[in-house]
Amino acid sequence: MSGEPGFRTLVREFAREVVGPRAAAIDREHRFPRDVIDEAARAGLLGILVPAVYGGMGLDHRCFAACIEELAAACASTAVIVDVHGSVATEPILRFGSEEQRRAWLPRLARGEVLGAFALTEPGSGSDAAGLRTTARRRGSEWVLTGTKVFVTNVGEAGLYIVFARTGEVPGARGVSAFLVPADRPGLRVGQIFAKMGLHGSPTGELVLEEVRVPAANLLHAPGRGFEVAMRCLDSGRIGISAQGLGIARAALGEALDRARAQGDGGRETAVALADLAARLEAGRGLVECAARRCSADLPFTREASMAKLFCTDLAMEAASTALEVMGEAGEEQGFGRHFRDAKALQIYEGTNQVQRVVIARQLLRPAAAIPASGAPGGAAGRSG
């Protein structure tokens, strides 16, 4: 395997042989694709970012993005399951975990023995994540967690939840801490599973914590530093979501082009309607590449990740919508309805696209913010990444 291109080819084959043939049934039956996830685990795809010393593939964010794009082009539900597991559920341990926590969890996550989930959002706090109300109280050698999380991807299937809770009386972001909460702890249960318009194979729902006790050693990072864990991991998580957008856009565009080719001369007009999307797909790939390179090189990448997320997920929605129009009445029958329904959630999760604009604006207003492509491939990030 030679870097990102070789790895991408492997995942593309996996997606074509294993994922694609099951995508329509996963969508139709609202079924968690356990069989596909188990095969992805055997192929190493649940441990892409995990260093080899902990049993993973030890690859970078460019490879991770390539994997998510390829999976999403075949099945967006499978892509988001793998993405959440490998980014926001694994990276908190990778980046902020103690050596003991890494040894306890990373090999199991990388092998797919345990699926991960990330539980930040609450009924009263989504975009304003620092307003969360779940509490963690210290009792002797344990923390006791109480509260309700909502919109948790992989809920009910996960063996480990990264849970954010308020420790102490400090209000806002500084009062938030992060915890490793195994799914089998007494008092933890799955509440309502939400019916979504798309991503039918990916369970999203409530996680209820009633006096859930975890050892003191399950605190991630330090007390009051949980918000930092969440924001850093959401930044890199957005690279995966951008790649998911690329995958959906590519699939929709590719299928619409197949239709245009089949129309013979009449297909030229159809292809013209798709030209802008094809150009934007290439541009989107550049944004994802730039953010992934900077992230992998430990350079600041918040702005680039938000730009990629905003651009690529809006692109996915528009590509799916345009392709549906181009296909006419054959659209739903041939799977375009699925792309359209799946794409919508990407504009909402891991920070809505309105919030991405707020993040980008804040970055742009910084005194030293460079408008030119400071992180373009081939620049400083390109050399060290």
Ligand X SMILES: Cc1cc2nc3c(=O)[nH]c(=O)nc-3n(C[C@H](O)[C@H](O)[C@H](O)COP(=O)(O)OP(=O)(O)OC[C@H]3O[C@@H](n4cnc5c(N)ncnc54)[C@H](O)[C@@H]3O)c2cc1C
Cα distances (Å, whole numbers) of residue 19 to 73, 316, 344: 10, 19, 21
By CB under 6 A, residue 313 contacts ligand X: no
By CB under 6 A, residue 236 contacts ligand X: no
Nearer CB in complex with ligand X: 151/340: 151
By CB under 6 A, residue 56 contacts ligand X: no
Shortest Cβ distance from residue 379 to ligand X (Å)? Answer: 30
DSSP secondary structure letters along 268-279: HHHHHHHHHHHH
Shortest Cβ distance from residue 5 to ligand X (Å)? Answer: 30
Return the biggest CA–CA distance within the chain: 76
Site for ligand X in 344-383 (CB under 6 A): 345, 348-352, 354-355, 358
By CB under 6 A, residue 295 contacts ligand X: no
Instruction: Tell me the C-alpha distance between 63 and 68, whole Å.
Output: 9
Q: HSE of 240 in the Cβ direction (CA atoms, 13 Å)?
A: 30
Q: Is 51 left (phi over 0), alpha (psi -120 to 50) or beta?
A: beta
Which string of x and - marks every residue 87-126 that binds ligand X (by CB under 6 A)? Answer: -------------------------------xxxx----x
Helix ranges restricted to H, the chain: 3-14, 20-29, 34-42, 61-74, 76-86, 91-96, 99-111, 226-262, 267-296, 302-327, 330-333, 336-346, 353-364, 380-384
Shortest Cβ distance from residue 3 to ligand X (Å)? Answer: 30
Query: Which residue among the candidates 69, 70, 255, 350 is catalytic per the annotation?
Result: 350
By CB under 6 A, residue 152 contacts ligand X: yes
Determine the size of the site formed for ligand X (CB under 6 A).
22
Tokens of 70: 């390829």
- 350 tagged catalytic: yes
- Of the candidate residues 13, 24, 113, 127, the single one contacting ligand X (CB under 6 A): 127
Q: Would you please indicate which residues are annotated as catalytic (active-site) residues?
A: 350
The residues binding ligand X (CB under 6 A) are: 84, 118-121, 126-127, 151-153, 196, 199, 204, 345, 348-352, 354-355, 358
